[in-house]
Amino acid sequence: MFERLREVWRRSSTAGEAYPAELAFMLRNPLRRLILSPRGMVRRLDPAPTDRVLEVGPGPGYFSLELAQAVPRGMLLLMDLQPAMLAKARTRLSRARARNVRYQAADARALPYAEASIDLALLVAVLGEVPDKKAALAELYRVVRPGGRLNLTEQPGDADFISLAEITALAEQAGFQATRHWGGRSNYSAEFRRP
């Protein structure tokens, strides 16, 4: 039991490892609103009601319900490496009767979506956990439609935190154009557009 707990804690604090589903409750901490609330996130994303939105690595869905509600005539695709995380997100969104949501367990380095099929993609505190960030960004570039947007958000207290300069360089190498960003050095959202 103690060994198991130690292993979970090690994974949560080691850069490059997926955040353990056993600690999903910490991602649902209401105090996160002080950093960025789900509504604040939706304001930054500003989706059209018909948008097809892809959230990669939603974990237990801290931002997902408000996102689904913001695209009532569109679709929210939730894709996470860990089926246990997706199960938690599904329980939460189903209870709230969010019907415009699809769930898929997969790896960001091989997205199971067609080329140019996404209007808006977002990752909150996820990219740092992906071992091959270039491959993930190449995949995001492939699935986001021309003119579509990518939002990369990083938050404090994350062992895998990536700086705005580094994330911008990575996204631009993949072909995205930086458009705007919000927040400060340790807590920001950066928006990119596929030309």
Ligand X SMILES: C[S@@+](CC[C@H](N)C(=O)[O-])C[C@H]1O[C@@H](n2cnc3c(N)ncnc32)[C@H](O)[C@@H]1O
Residue numbers at the binding site for ligand X (CB under 6 A): 18-19, 27, 56-59, 62, 80-82, 85, 107-108, 124-126, 129-130
The nearer residue to ligand X, 53 or 125, going by C-beta atoms, is 125
What is the end-to-end Cα distance of the chain in Å, rounded?
51
Write down the least CB distance from residue 32 to ligand X, Å: 8
The nearer residue to ligand X, 146 or 184, going by C-beta atoms, is 184
With contact defined as beta carbons under 8 Å apart, do 190 and 167 qualify?
A: yes
The nearer residue to ligand X, 26 or 147, going by C-beta atoms, is 26
Give 181's strand partners.
Answer: 190
The nearer residue to ligand X, 15 or 177, going by C-beta atoms, is 15
Write down the least CB distance from residue 20 to ligand X, Å: 8
Cα angle: 94, vertex 95, 101; to 5 degrees: 20
With contact defined as beta carbons under 8 Å apart, do 161 and 35 qualify?
A: no
DSSP 194: -
